[in-house]
Amino acid sequence: EAQVTQNPRYLITVTGKKLTVTCSQNMNHEYMSWYRQDPGLGLRQIYYSMNVEVTDKGDVPEGYKVSRKEKRNFPLILESPSPNQTSLYFCASSRAAGQGFYEQYFGPGTRLTVT
Amino acid sequence: DQQVKQNSPSLSVQEGRISILNCDYTNSMFDYFLWYKKYPAEGPTFLISISSIKDKNEDGRFTVFLNKSAKHLSLHIVPSQPGDSAVYFCAAYNFNKFYFGSGTKLNVKP
């Protein structure tokens, strides 16, 4: 089954404790992206990756890191989480955004709470 | 400042009638637009899209209209069904990035 998986689905952590949210897709997609969803703000793009070893900032990259060492995986790293990063996070992938393949497939979401 | 805006947080429609969801944008360089549907506790799923060189795209009960001069996008659902009750996000693409609106919660009453 074609899918995007995220782990963990729920996470409660404390300020400053480094964490990683994993994202994996099995569709051989080139483009992958992370979003956060907040009330009244919709989804905002954090980082995206056009392909392996190619990443770039989205609209709200501060406080986040990403890496793309393999095509299928795109982990989101919070080196020192703060309460304002409490949010619902989505990973998404698509064949090749910008080359006629704009439809993104989303993971189920990770609800992160930072106390 | 948000480049894609959905000014109606919610919409309630009777089953069988038309639902019209609206979206406004500010960046005239956007070259592709999409609508996604989201159910609670799930990720968004793609619904329909339109290129900036077109003004209409239809897929079954769903039609998207693009008015470039007004920088306005709308999604029409005809006829509306209770299973259409969800949050709808419009999104726009430009130079490798996607921009989403804040969403409209559609409630279709039986």
pLDDT per residue as tens digits for the range B33-92: 999 999 999 999 999 999 999 999 999 999 999 999 999 999 999 999 999 999 999 999
Mutate one of A7, A56, A60, A104 to test the B interface: name it (highest B CB count within 10 A): A104
pLDDT per residue as tens digits for the range B16-47: 999 999 999 999 999 899 999 999 999 999 99
Phi, psi of A80 (to 5 degrees): -145, 80
Cα–Cα distance measured from residue A58 to residue A44, given in angstroms and rounded to the nearest whole number: 8
Using a CB–CB cutoff of 8 Å, tell me whether A62 touches chain B: no
Record: contact A103-B44, CB cut-off 8 A:
no
Helix (H) or strand (E) holding B46: strand B45-51
Which residue on chain B is closest to A60 by alpha carbon? B99
Candidates A36, A53, A41, A48; CA nearest to A98 is A48
Helix (H) or strand (E) holding A53: none
Using a CB–CB cutoff of 8 Å, tell me whether A60 touches chain B: no
